[in-house]
Amino acid sequence: AQKITQTQPGMFVQEKEAVTLDCTYDTSDQSYGLFWYKQPSSGEMIFLIYQGSYDEQNATEGRYSLNFQKARKSANLVISASQLGDSAMYFCAMREGGGSNYQLIWGAGTKLIIKP
Amino acid sequence: DGGITQSPKYLFRKEGQNVTLSCEQNLNHDAMYWYRQDPGQGLRLIYYSQIVNDFQKGDIAEGYSVSREKKESFPLTVTSAQKNPTAFYLCASSIPRRPSTNEKLFFGSGTQLSVL
């Protein structure tokens, strides 16, 4: 079974609109961390935001926020006021804390294209 | 500027040839990683090292080898035993010697390997 599922292979969004990228995860661990990374066409993976399983507040980093719904096992990334430079691949990833080697498990990614 | 440098950006391999991908970091990070990225898939872990002169196999280590003789350097060799080496290879590093759920990875800009 997939541990990280990103159901949107691609999305087109109008500039300045808000964007929600979906991510659902599967784990039986109580302690885990969820990450979002951005990969522009240059290839480098850029860290965007982190949410810990015990964090009570949703994480925010500038225009990025993480809509963390623990009971539903979802960790959607929200980008407010999208910009042309937001066009990229976006990856959700999880690190489990119990009985594992702590390695990141990655989703297949969502390609986001911002239209002017 | 601190960061991770991968070279070359593009690499071509002939049948039966071994090739080595370079990864150097000046972030003073203890841990280093090699990932493989195929189109439409998430990143898959090849090898990782949490300390000099020690490394562990990841999920897809067959056909690859690594060394960690210096803290700054973690080269990856794609051997002739890897029958499908065409992919994008990403090197990453992180701070802690002991892993944790909130450990953030820093990435290089990648090497695209193709078979001639």
Show the 3-state SS of chain B.
CCCEEEECCEEEECCCCCEEEEEEECCCCCEEEEEEECCCCCCEEEEEEEECCEEEECCCCCCEEECCCECCECCEEECCCCCCCCEEEEEEEECCCCCCCCCCCEECCCEEEEEC
The sign of the torsion formed by the CA atoms of B10, A113, A10, A24 equals positive
Contacts of A50 in chain B (CB under 8 A): 102, 104
**pLDDT confidence tier of residue A82, bands split at 50, 70 and 90:** very high
Give the pLDDT confidence score for residue B15 in this predicted structure.
85
State the best of A45, A53, A100, A101 to mutate against chain B, taking most chain B CBs within 10 Å.
A45
A91 lies within 8 A of chain B by CB = yes
pLDDT at residue A99 is higher than 60: no
Kindly report the average pLDDT of chain A as a whole number.
93
Report H helices in A3-97. Answer: none
Is A50 in a helix, a strand, or coil? strand
**What is the number of CB-based contacts under 8 A between chain A and chain B?**
65
Q: What is the pLDDT along chain B (116 residues), one digit of tens a residue?
A: 679 999 999 999 988 899 999 999 999 999 999 999 998 888 999 999 989 999 999 999 999 999 999 999 999 999 999 989 999 999 999 987 666 778 889 999 999 999 88
Phi, then psi, of A69 in degrees rounded to 5? -120, 95
Return left, alpha or beta for A113; rule: phi > 0 is left, psi -120 to 50 is alpha, else beta: beta
CA distance B100 to A56: 19
CA distance B96 to B104: 9
State the best of A49, A55, A95 to mutate against chain B, taking most chain B CBs within 10 Å.
A95
Give the pLDDT confidence score for residue A32 in this predicted structure.
92
Give the pLDDT confidence score for residue A64 in this predicted structure.
97
Q: Write out pLDDT tens, residues B22-43.
A: 999 999 999 999 999 998 888 9
Name the token pair of B57.
Answer: 């196999």
Query: CB-based burial of residue A111 (10 Å sphere; 0-12 exposed, 13-18 middle, 19+ buried)?
Result: middle
